[in-house]
Chains A and B, each alone.
Chain A
Amino acid sequence: MVCEECRKRPAVIHITKIVNNRKTEAHLCQECAQSRGELTFVSPTAFTFQNFLAGMLQHSQATPTGPSVETPTAYCPNCGFSYNQFKESGQLGCSVCYEHFQGQIKPLLKRIQGSVAHTGKIPSQHGVAIECRRQIEMLREQQRTAISQEKYEDAAKLRDKIRALEKELQETKERDGR
């Protein structure tokens, strides 16, 4: 099939339009489709991850969910990366950006990752304290369940465990001078 516009090059773009129940078809080559403006809806970068991300960021700003969605402070204090740069590139500047732009990043992470709570590996340098906190959290949860089921003996045992861990956590902090 040749292009119906120039009648020279082969038609590679096939457009079917339905406007007010009237169907029209067009068969064009790349060049003619471009010049007729028929290609504006298939920009080659339309479906890159960055573009989706930018779209999501704009969208989440349009629906305020609390004070955290105020216009972010323009620049990261550590690397000078701006929030606009993030919107354009889909990447952050440094680890401090996550903290600085957290009001915007957390809702976004929730949407793309489905979660904002890391439950995996902990680097050894951060290890002891975080592992302690995580265990305390878990034991508290078990304690609540025990109380709601009126298993008070179990709850008391759990309380003692939590106290011991809290003490350990305190000691770790003092030892590391944190």
Chain B
Amino acid sequence: MGLKEAANKILCRWMKGTGPNDNIVVGSRIRLARNIAKVPFPATASEGQLAHVGDLVRMATVANGQSNMDYLAIAEMPRLERELLVEKHLISPQQTRDVKHKAVVLGRDELVSIMVNEEDHLRIQSICPGFQLESAWEQCNQVDDTLGDSLEYAFSPELGYLTACPTNVGTGLRASVMLHLPVLTMTQQMQRAIPAINKLGLAVRGLYGEGTEAVGNVYQISNQLTLGHSEQEIIQHLATVARQIIDQEESGRKQLLEVGKAQLEDRTYRSLGVLSQARVISSQEAMQLLSEVWLGVDLGLIKELDPKTLKSLVVLIRPAHLQKIIGKEMDTGERDGFRGDLVREYIRMGAKEKDSELKEGES
């Protein structure tokens, strides 16, 4: 199997897909925290109770005719497969630790996932490519409705959905957008924007949630409050703020192109130069360089590549994806070597494809 096929097989659907503003918005995500009434939350529950929750969720999903989903016990999954799901943002890093009785119900299209026995009994999640919070909400809401018909949720008319942590009580909703903001980062405007965004009740974090850095200029912005506002209001608020950040990044890109086109072109081509020649490269360095090349492609400075080549690479170079493509487990040093090979080969292929597309267009 060639590299292209292997990569295509492993990339998940929302990452391959397209959506509005997907030159900046990597993805939109909705998560709902739900618990079963009276059964102790996972941190307090006994083994028997955790197993019972697993059975209830299995019955409400897979056994209830949701045949487009699979119930997967985390403990039975090889380590690499778990890591792969984390890199695809389908489960949290927390879900891969202390795995007994933890599970994930995974939609075959990999757009919807339900984490079982994480911090709450259920964490229902839906993810869409580009700026599509509404579609993600509709998807998530639908799964929640179906589950709510057969599960008795912990709910109080006054406080809403009850969760293990008081910070999720009410709607149990966490809406987030992943934004690629190279120019706002480069011009150090993100440093000023983050406190302002925080003041609006939104959190700014790195790619993989709590406590992670904004690697490769990708930021996650999400609501902090879950009680007192409806789901629609929370999503609207996030969308309004995200829209402004997107506009700022767009206008920043235009301005930078006007005042320093030559420098920007040089910078993005240097990054492409390193990526097309490097033999050993860390995940961090590759992310940073890919971010700059992606910017160059988006601004039409680099014409020999398509945005989709860069967007795919950003995912494929992550440790679990890389090991899955090569087909074996590797240590960090080994990985950095294979990462160099993968990036070079993928860029070469991408350029060739684009070239033949252009030639076809001419003839």
Q: A: which residues have CB within 8 A of B? A: 49, 53, 78-79, 81, 89-96, 98-99, 105, 108-109, 112-126, 130, 133
Residue of B165, B173, B225, B227 near A91 (CB, 8 A) is B165
Q: Which of the residues A78, A96, A124 comes within 8 Å of B149, measured between beta carbons? A: A124
A95 and B227 within 8 A (CB): no
14 contacts between A and B (CB under 8 A): A79-B44, A81-B40, A90-B165, A92-B41, A92-B166, A94-B41, A109-B227, A118-B158, A121-B141, A121-B230, A122-B155, A124-B149, A125-B149, A125-B153
Q: Which of B130-144 contact A (CB under 8 A)?
A: 141, 144
**CB of B148 within 8 Å of the partner chain:** yes
B42 to chain A minimum Cβ distance, whole angstroms, is: 10
Question: Which of A91, A95, A105 is in CB contact (< 8 Å) with B154?
Answer: A95
Report the minimal beta-carbon distance from A111 to chain B, rounded to whole angstroms.
10
Is the beta-carbon distance between B38 and A119 smaller than 8 angstroms?
A: no
Min C-beta distance of A98 to chain B, whole Å: 5
- Bound complex: CA of A122 vs CA of B153, how far in Å? 10
CA distance A108 to B159 in the complex (A): 12
Which among A49, A78, A112 is the interface contact of B38 at CB below 8 angstroms?
A78
Size of chain B's interface in residues, with CB distance under 8 A?
41
B37: chain A residues at CB < 8 Å are 95
A92 CB contacts on chain B under 8 angstroms: 41, 162, 164-166
Dominant secondary structure at the B interface: loop
Q: Which of these, A78, A98, A124, contacts B159 with CB under 8 Å?
A: A98
B152: chain A residues at CB < 8 Å are 125
Q: Name the residue among B35, B155, B226, B234 with the largest chain A CB count within 10 angstroms.
A: B155
Q: Is B160 an interface residue (CB 8 A)?
A: yes
Tell me, in angstroms, the Cα distance from A26 to B61 when the chains sit together: 61
Closest to B156 in A: A98
For chain B, residues 216 to 246, give those with C-beta under 8 angstroms from any C-beta of chain A. 225-231, 234
Tell whether, in the assembled complex, residue B166 and residue A116 are in contact, meaning their CB atoms are under 8 Å apart. no
When chains A and B are docked, how far (Å) is the Cα of A95 from the Cα of B158? 13
Interface residues of B in 187-220 (CB under 8 A from A): none
* Cβ-closest chain B residue relative to A99: B156
Known: A91-B164, A98-B156, A119-B230. A81 touches B169 (CB 8 A): no
B3 within 8 A of A: no
Q: Is the CB of B44 within 8 A of A93?
A: yes
Residues of A contacting B158 with CB < 8 Å? Answer: 116-118
Q: Is residue B340 contacting chain A, with contact meaning CB distance below 8 A?
A: no
Question: Which of B39, B157, B167, B230 is within 8 Å of A94, CB to CB?
Answer: B39
Q: B228 contacts A108, CB within 8 Å?
A: no
B170 at the A/B interface (Cβ < 8 Å)? Answer: yes
Contact B155 A113 (CB under 8 A): no
Q: Please tell me if the beta carbons of A98 and B171 are within 8 angstroms of each other in the complex.
A: no
Whole-angstrom CA separation of A99 from B38 in the bound complex:
11
Complex: A95 Cα to B33 Cα, angstroms: 13
Please name 11 further chain A to chain B contacts, defined as beta carbons within 8 Å, in addition to the given A91-B165, A118-B157, A124-B148, sorted by A numbering: A81-B40, A89-B43, A92-B41, A93-B41, A98-B169, A108-B166, A113-B166, A117-B227, A120-B173, A120-B231, A122-B157
CB distance from A29 to the nearest CB of B (A): 25
Would A118 and B44 count as touching, CB distance under 8 A?
A: no
Query: Min CB distance, A4 to chain B, in Å?
Result: 32
For the complex, what is the distance from the CA of A108 to the CA of B38, rounded to whole Å?
Answer: 22
Q: Are B41 and A91 in contact (CB under 8 A)?
A: yes
The chain B residue sitting closest to A85, CB to CB, is: B44
A96, B38: Cβ atoms under 8 Å? yes
A79, B36: Cα distance in complex, Å: 13
Whole-angstrom distance between the alpha carbons of A119 and B166 in the complex? 16
Contact A112 to B167, CB < 8 A, known contacts A118-B158, A125-B153: yes
Tell me the minimal C-beta distance from B48 to chain A in angstroms: 13
B145 at the interface (CB under 8 A from A): yes
Q: Per-position contact with A for B34-63: 1 when CB-CB < 8 Å, else 0?
A: 010111110110000000000000000000
Which of B35, B44, B149, B155 has most chain A Cβ within 10 Å?
B44
In Å, the complex CA distance between A114 and B234 comes to: 14
Contacts A91-B41, A95-B37 given: A109-B166 contact, CB under 8 Å? yes
**Contact with A98, one of B144, B162, B234 (Cβ below 8 angstroms):** B162
Judge whether A118 and B160 touch: CB under 8 Å.
Answer: yes
For B44, list chain A residues within 8 Å (CB): 79, 81, 93-94
- Rounded to whole Å, the gap between the CB of B24 and the closest CB of chain A is 29
- Which 4 pairs show the lowest CB-CB distances between chains A and B? A115-B228, A118-B160, A95-B154, A113-B227
Give per-residue flags for B161-179: 1 if the beta carbon is below 8 A from chain A beta carbons, else 0: 1101111011101000000
Give B317-338 interface residues, CB cut-off 8 Å to A: none
Which residue of the partner chain A has the closest CB to B162? A95
